[in-house]
Structure 1
Amino acid sequence: MYKYLSLLNDIENMIKSGDYRQGEKIPSIRILSKSYHCNKSTVIRALAELERKHIIYSLPKSGYYIVTSKTELIQGDKLILDFSSSSPDPAVFPYLDFQHCINQAIDIYKNDLFIYGTPRGLPSLIDVVQKQLTNYQVFAKKENIFITSGIQQALSILAIIPFPNNRETILIEQPGYHLFIESLQALQVPVLGIKRTSKGIDLFELERMFREENIKFFYTMPRYHNPLGTSYSQEEKKKILELARKYNVFIVEDDYLADFEQNSKADPIYSYDNFTHVIYLKSYSKIIFPGLRIGIAVIPDSLIKIFSQYKRILDIDSSMLSQAALEIYIKNGMFERHKEKMKATYYSRANCLISALENEQKKRNLANFSYAPVKNIAFHTYIELNEQISCEKVIHRLKDKSIIVDGVNNNYLRSFLERNSILKLNISNVEKEYIEEGISEIVKQIY
């Protein structure tokens, strides 16, 4: 790794850990040069990049100072805490590393990046992804791997293509991924919902629906469900796959937060399959940045031909420049380093969120709301309000207190009536030091 990158990352990490505080002066160029055993031009390059990212600012003849945190959006004199956004924190985007990879990709591939590629994806990236997927217990052949324009494109294709079981209806967890729900309803694809709670889903009801309904595939988020934040046990995953095989139903497994898993033994449903019934999807949007628009789809042999045909018709190929840059980013070890940095950041915040909820539970009579006491979350969970409490009114009251939260109306199918009153809690854009304060105010406004 370049020396200036090491220096840049160390300063960023010290800011996030609180070693350098907002408004505080950082060590001089001379001191940093001596500490990192590098010349002053290397230090100046790192500091210039930090200044460009608005992490630090310079004062003539004085030095460099830490800028106020980007999460401290000011509304008058009030701090705005955004518990609604599930997007990654822009403050941890790997801007400089990825810029380096883009430049290197252009140097290596030149004209190849600016012409049409292949519907399946950049072959060299598929080679890298195939190896990376083994870290998630996904052992796939290269011919089964497709690079897509985010998971959303893969889902849209799967929703409209004919399947070998000759069925038409899609089964989706409720609540569920709002963009896929919007897509299904806009395309007028036959869709049914099955209720999911912190305790999972009713496997007897799942079997009934597999048996009696015309289910093409079951779309599920076994790991860190959106919006609940909960995960299925390994026993539940195996049972779901067993039922899918029994009734010839495909499973579309959305493993969009695989990179944040803390339990090394938490394998995906795909790992138990014989490569026939499970379609595995993985995203890079949460771990790197949403604008990358690169997703991975592992498609069974029986669907390769039709999936490839529809993907080619829809967009010819996904961005070759993004694919080439991602390939270099992974091969150079930058991805693993960034992943560990992101996991540590969100793990710390998630523990703070859990602790704050536990403290509120001890302090108050929680008759008005409950929450799932989940120990292993990525960066989001939820609290469920008593049916007498208006979710909309709570959201409005919190907005007046400069705290942004959201409900889950958009996470339900219009036809699904068995809804719970839920407030989503995301901490990807809330600094650790403000989580306890925010949760305390949220609970207070519920009462």
Structure 2
Amino acid sequence: MSTRYEQVVAAIKRQLQTGQIKPGGKLPSIRETAVCYACGKNTAIRAMQELECHFRSNNLKFFYTVPRYHNPLGTSLSQEQKRKIARLAEKYDVYVVEDDYLADMEIKRKEDPLYSFDSSGHTVYLKSFSKIMLPGLRLATAVLPEALLETFRLFKASCDSSTATMSQAALEIYLSCGMYDRHAAHVRHIYHERMRALRQACERYLPESCGYSVSESGIFLHVTFPADFPLDDLVHSLKQQKILVTPSERCFLRTFPRVNGIRLSIIRTDETQIVRGIRLIAEGVHALLQKQALRQERVIDWI
């Protein structure tokens, strides 16, 4: 079984390589790492040192990150973490691709994107309109360093020649008349309330052996369990009760260390369903933990 230090390093590397760093490239402060991963400061220091060494010594073409409400972790980068990433990008001459597709769900007005901390032209900022307006719209915006503009235009033209004019016109009207802002505010309120219900349900029902950190908004939550917890049994039991969860290992490459956890999504739920779902998850966890304890009690050591 891996040590806590190795688990933290592996988790942060996953965020680096999958674009979450929750995340997650994010290089969190020592204090934030310790809090986020429920580990001591010495463990966080060791993990951060190895992470920067990895960042410095590898020939990276670019560094992909989801700065807020990461999938599957549900975590967000702090302002200090964004500053550190911007400084590292400049220091090691690495481009950062910031996929801020849930930016409109942010409830804190001062939570600026990583792009705002980039003074050296190393950040490609991406933002989607689909999550708030209409998934079928398939419209997004890209803010690029000047050095990449011509190359981007060529590749964009080779993919689809041009973006649908009607979709762009519809979005322009939606933006200019204020409907987009009003709808975005409505969506932020809905998901803020859902996450609040999720946090309260987790605090009320989940056992202490479960690890989780609920954001103030977003659509995902990552729940972890002890390394020897029979996760497959829990997933199967929940499915029979029409509670669908995603094992964490499905969200990462097979070469990554296994994380014994599940991803929860609240995008198709309401507050009542959230509370019921967490209660059933907790009941399943308690039942399996009791079964584990009973098996251990029955073991007879003849040695």
TM-score band w.r.t. shorter chain: 0.7 to 0.9
Task: Give the number of the structure with larger relative contact order, counting CA–CA contacts within 8 Å between residues 6 or more apart.
Answer: 1
Q: CA RMSD in A?
A: 2.4
- 8 Å CA contact 1:258–1:282 kept in 2: the answer is yes
Are 2:117 and 1:278 equivalent residues in the alignment?
no
Q: Separation in 2 of the partners of 1:289 and 1:174?
A: 29
Percent of aligned pairs with the same residue? 40
Q: Deviations over 1:291-322 (max 9, x none)?
A: 11111111111111111101101110122211
Instruction: Structure 1: state its 5+ residue gaps.
Output: 1-170, 179-192
Are 2:72 and 1:235 equivalent residues in the alignment?
no
Q: Separation in 1 of the partners of 2:69 and 2:180?
A: 21
Q: Pick from 168, 192, 199: which aligns with 2:36?
A: 199
* Secondary structure of residue in 2 paired with 1:173: helix
* Secondary structure of residue in 2 paired with 1:251: strand
Q: Pick from 209, 212, 222: which aligns with 1:382?
A: 222
Are 2:212 and 1:371 equivalent residues in the alignment?
yes
- 8 Å CA contact 1:237–1:269 kept in 2: the answer is yes
Larger deviation, residues 200-209 vs 308-317:
200-209
1:17-166 mapped onto 2 (5 Å cutoff): none
* Secondary structure of residue in 2 paired with 1:403: coil
Are 2:157 and 1:316 equivalent residues in the alignment?
no
Q: Separation in 2 of the partners of 1:285 and 1:227?
A: 19
1:282-361 mapped onto 2 (5 Å cutoff): 282-361=127-206
Instruction: Structure 2: state its 5+ residue gaps.
Output: 1-12, 38-43, 287-303
- 8 Å CA contact 1:405–1:424 kept in 2: the answer is yes
> Does the C-alpha gap of structure 1 residues 248 and 175 become closer, same or farther in structure 2, counting only changes over 3 Å?
closer
2:239 aligned partner, one-letter code: K
2:280 aligned partner, one-letter code: E
Higher helix share: 2
Give the number of the structure whose alpha-carbon radius of gyration is greater: 1
1:318 aligned partner, one-letter code: T
* Secondary structure of residue in 1 paired with 2:101: coil
Q: What is residue 183 of structure 1 aligned with on the other side?
A: none
Q: What is residue 423 of structure 1 aligned with on the other side?
A: 262
1:215 aligned partner, one-letter code: L
Q: What is residue 84 of structure 1 aligned with on the other side?
A: none
- 8 Å CA contact 1:279–1:298 kept in 2: the answer is yes
> Does the C-alpha gap of structure 1 residues 397 and 431 become closer, same or farther in structure 2, counting only changes over 3 Å?
same
Are 2:101 and 1:256 equivalent residues in the alignment?
yes
Instruction: State the shift of 1:377 in Å.
Output: 3.1
- 8 Å CA contact 1:174–1:411 kept in 2: the answer is no
TM-score relative to the length of structure 1:
0.54
Q: What is residue 246 of structure 2 aligned with on the other side?
A: 406
* Secondary structure of residue in 2 paired with 1:419: coil
- 8 Å CA contact 1:282–1:296 kept in 2: the answer is yes
> Does the C-alpha gap of structure 1 residues 421 and 289 become closer, same or farther in structure 2, counting only changes over 3 Å?
farther
Q: Separation in 2 of the partners of 1:406 and 1:439?
A: 14
* Secondary structure of residue in 1 paired with 2:61: strand
1:383 aligned partner, one-letter code: V
Q: Separation in 2 of the partners of 1:443 and 1:176?
A: 29
> Does the C-alpha gap of structure 1 residues 346 and 377 become closer, same or farther in structure 2, counting only changes over 3 Å?
closer
- 8 Å CA contact 1:175–1:412 kept in 2: the answer is no
* Secondary structure of residue in 1 paired with 2:222: strand
Higher strand share: 1
Q: Deviations over 1:207-260 (max 9, x none)?
A: 212221111111011211111111111111111111111110111111111101
Q: What is residue 393 of structure 1 aligned with on the other side?
A: 233
- 8 Å CA contact 1:176–1:227 kept in 2: the answer is no
- 8 Å CA contact 2:16–2:64 kept in 1: the answer is no
Q: Separation in 2 of the partners of 1:292 and 1:446?
A: 40
Q: What is residue 97 of structure 1 aligned with on the other side?
A: none
Q: How many residues align?
A: 257
1:423 aligned partner, one-letter code: I
